[in-house]
A and B are shown apart, each in its own frame.
Chain A
Amino acid sequence: MSDTAPRAPKRPRVDPLYDPRVRAAVYQVLLLLLLLWLGYQVAVNVRANLVAQNIATGFGFFGITAGFGINQSLIPYQEADTYGRAFVVGLLNTLLVSAIGIVFATILGFIIGIARLSPNWLVARIAGGYVELIRNLPLLFQIMFWYVAVLSPLPAVRQSIGIGFQPLVQRLADGLAWLNFDLAKAAAGLVQRFAVWIGPPEVFLNNRGLIVPEPYFHSGAGIVCAALLAGIVATIAMRIWARRRLDATGQTFPVFWASIGLVVGLPLAALVVLGFPVGLVQPELRGFNFVGGIRLIPEFVALVLALTTYTAAFIAEVVRAGILSVSRGQTEAAAALGLPRKRVLNLVVVPQAMRVITPPLTNQYLNLTKNSTLAAAIGYPDLFSVFAGSTLNITGQAIEIIAITMAVYLTISLVTSLLMGWYNARIQLAERA
């Protein structure tokens, strides 16, 4: 073995007792066994001690009637339903607020991130100020701000603010009448009649939330949906075709406008032909609250606003870092080829920036989801409030419920990471090709 030539070394035969690889493997197996044993002991002990203290254990509570109400639910839920169903309601509420928060935070974050790099002094400074202000204030404070300072002072139900075309026309009529000379008065009368003809407003805002019309579906609605679906499929096909044509001939195609035409135009045509089988039910004030229409509760609105604006500040910085990471030479080279500024951004800068942006963006998505548990402070019925709050308190089974809650948040986070990891791998490959 005195030969030191860089040949593939043949491992010397060593007693397994002294082989470092065998030793390493043995240590790892021993550690794993120790951990498993520890976990098992903990579980056995917890069980024995709970039984000794006469505290109920097990997961049987999922089938028992919950008996409490939940004020926002995506699936039908009543007080007489089980804890299992309440759990699902809470989970869906958490997913809803997280998903909507992620979408809006991404859009807002990208806009602000790009704005901060704008050559326009004012735009860049406003974006910079936004980021510095928002990310340096605690999130709980911001949630309370939106809920207590912005949404609570809205008027009561009976003085709801109407939003839409009609209130605007009404204001115009009032304004003209206020001017108080003949021509204005005549015009005011006309506008007033127009306002009455339009009918009452469709969207209302009050301290109970935002009330929007509810869609209804009569027979024939299926065809409209089918038209929408066909529009989406046609759009995807068109994109692929446009891409191929670009690769083959170098000619571009106005994909965006054509997509709008297909996705909006087709269903609209179907609507007109079938005589509007899909429409909106007007909300109407009856008793204490509005009847008909969908109500977005203020807790939901406050939470979405706070999570969106807060996370957007962080995403903006991530986006800015990503764009700055693309070397200037790339932009200059693209410009030298004669590409217009918009195409330089779309084809050269953004694809490379996305490589840097995606991993930290995933972190922000995970943070947003976990931060949604602050909902308990303003009474939004998310998983944490419904399950680790009401259910835990009534059943008293803290260990099981906290364990399940942790498992749920872990699962949501892992799935988010998985999806983002998949997307990241895709853009990495595309970049190398």
Chain B
Amino acid sequence: MKRVIIALGLAATLGLLSTAASAQMLKTVKDRGTLTCGVSQGLPGFSSPDDKGAWTGLDVDLCRAMAAAIFNDASKVKYVPLTANARFTALQSGEIDVLSRNTTWTSSRDTSLGFNFAAVTYYDGQGFMVKKSLKVNSALELNGASICTQSGTTTEANAADYFRANNMKFEVVKFETADEAIKAYDTGRCDGFTSDVSQLYAMRLKLTAMNDHVVLPEVISKEPLGPAVRQGDDQWFDIVKWVHFAMINAEELGVSSKSVDEAMKSPQPEIKRLLGLEGAYGEQLGLTKDWVVRIVKLVGNYGEIFEKNVGSGSKLGIARGLNRLWTKGGIQYAPPIR
């Protein structure tokens, strides 16, 4: 029902206002005093509330880093949990300032939805999870299987493509939320569950006997996940993009939340530029000189938030793989700050 309300809200905002509120997002956010951030309804590692009700995760940390850069306070974020179906309308209608909800960057979303994807915060791909007892070793053995998934995702279409390309039949059972889908899989409604591989590991934690399930080796698609904003406000778009790049650059230069005070004394010109000791790069973005110091101090660099949320420091224990820095064999790469 929320979808209908948001869609009606969208119709109302677009219909009754003669000019849509564009540009000035930064000023609006500053005046309001909080950043409104669209997140998932609970995906461990990416965005989910912890036992005290505080939101944590990789996607959440991007929002916290933005709040740190803008307000020097990472907690000034209002989180709006959204289903996969409701997320785009929520961003279009202006209910949220930025969508940071494990969303795949695709051409049609970038163009026909009126969005701009700012960066890729996590390089992912789609896979399948099945029960070990089925003795299936490859996704190619899934002919005739029932597969549970969440509706309104790229996952849905990718699975259809994969089965079609390999001349296999399958039954798709779609649910409004990921929780309903994983529950149906857990009770045996489906032989398999499909989603982005990172999500498979995250959702596996919610199963009654997580060790009875195995993620199949095939990765059937490219899923670059990243934050999106509305088109028409380039300054805001730049801020989201560079907050991510700042975290990557910080990791590359070895500046972490622990070493940032030490790094302030560094003679290296690159670090001086990063931390705002030389140049006026923060002001050019509409932020302050010490924006990167705030981000790294209050949230951390990319490597830190990765390991804390989804990597070795978390229950998920996902290897960094493609998300390693380009200097270490991965594809996470950021343009320089200068």
Contact = CB atoms under 8 A, between A and B. Distances in A.
A67 B151 contact: no
Contacts, number: 171
B219 interface: no
Contacts of B4: 388, 402
Contacts of A363: none
Contacts of A56: 111-114
A70 interface: yes
Contacts of A156: 188
Contacts of B153: 393
A67 B161 contact: yes
A401 B220 CA distance: 30
B241 interface: no
Contacts of A49: 14-15, 17, 19-20
Contacts of A299: 173
B114 A55 contact: yes
Interface stretch (A6-14, A160-168, A375-383, A415-423): A375-383
A346 to B, nearest CB: 44
B230 interface: yes
A50 B17 CA distance: 12
B327 interface: no
A67 B160 contact: yes
Nearest to A50: B14
Given A53-B92, A392-B3, A152 B173 contact: no
Contacts of B230: 53
Contacts of A181: none
Interface in A143-175: 148, 152-153, 156
B92 A385 contact: no
A334 interface: no
Contacts of B142: 288
A234 interface: no
A410 interface: no
A389 B172 contact: no
Given A208-B189, A392-B3, A395-B112, A53 B231 contact: yes
Nearest to B94: A53
A396 B164 contact: no
B257 to A, nearest CB: 37
B21 to A, nearest CB: 10
Contacts of B191: 288
Interface in A358-417: 376-379, 381, 385, 388-390, 392-399, 401-402
Contact of B92 (A43, A55, A67, A71): A55
Interface in B1-33: 3-4, 6-8, 10-11, 14-20, 22
Interface in B141-157: 142-146, 148, 151-153, 156-157
Contact of A53 (B108, B156, B232): B232
Given A79-B164, A393-B84, A388 B3 contact: yes
Nearest to B8: A402
Contacts of A289: 144-146, 171
A207 B152 CA distance: 25
A151 B279 CA distance: 66
Given A288-B144, A381-B174, A388-B3, A45 B17 contact: yes
Given A45-B18, A395-B112, A80 B144 contact: no
Chain B CB within 10 A, most for which of A71, A388, A393: A393
Contact of A379 (B164, B173, B231): B173
A398 B4 CA distance: 9
B218 to A, nearest CB: 17
A71 B172 contact: yes
A399 B160 contact: no
Contact of B113 (A41, A55, A80): A55
A70 to B, nearest CB: 7
A199 interface: no
Interface in A35-50: 41-43, 45-46, 49-50
Contacts of B17: 45, 49
Given A54-B111, A68-B156, A398 B231 contact: no
Nearest to A405: B4
Interface string B56-88: 000000000000000000000000000011001
A298 interface: yes
Interface in A288-346: 288-289, 297-299
Chain B CB within 10 A, most for which of A80, A156, A288, A399: A288
B20 A52 contact: yes
B172 to A, nearest CB: 4
A224 to B, nearest CB: 32
B188 A53 contact: no
B183 interface: yes
Chain A CB within 10 A, most for which of B7, B170, B171, B189: B189
Contacts of B99: none
A45 B14 CA distance: 7
A138 interface: no
B109 interface: yes
A287 B88 CA distance: 39
B156 A379 contact: no
A330 to B, nearest CB: 46
A84 interface: no
A399 B10 contact: yes
A386 B143 CA distance: 24
A52 B112 CA distance: 12
B175 interface: yes
A401 B4 CA distance: 10
B187 interface: yes
A18 B151 CA distance: 62
Contacts of A54: 111, 114, 231-232
Given A53-B114, A71-B146, A398-B6, 18 more contacts: A42-B16, A45-B15, A46-B14, A55-B113, A55-B114, A67-B160, A152-B188, A156-B188, A207-B188, A287-B144, A289-B145, A389-B152, A390-B151, A392-B152, A396-B88, A396-B108, A398-B10, A402-B11
Interface of A: 41-43, 45-46, 49-50, 52-56, 67-71, 79-80, 148, 152-153, 156, 207-208, 286-289, 297-299, 376-379, 381, 385, 388-390, 392-399, 401-402
26 contacts: A49-B14, A56-B112, A69-B159, A69-B160, A79-B161, A152-B184, A208-B189, A288-B145, A289-B145, A298-B189, A377-B175, A377-B176, A377-B180, A378-B180, A379-B173, A379-B174, A379-B184, A385-B151, A389-B152, A392-B85, A393-B152, A395-B112, A396-B92, A396-B114, A398-B89, A402-B11
What 5 A-B pairs are tightest by C-beta distance, nearest first? A393-B152, A56-B112, A55-B114, A42-B15, A79-B160
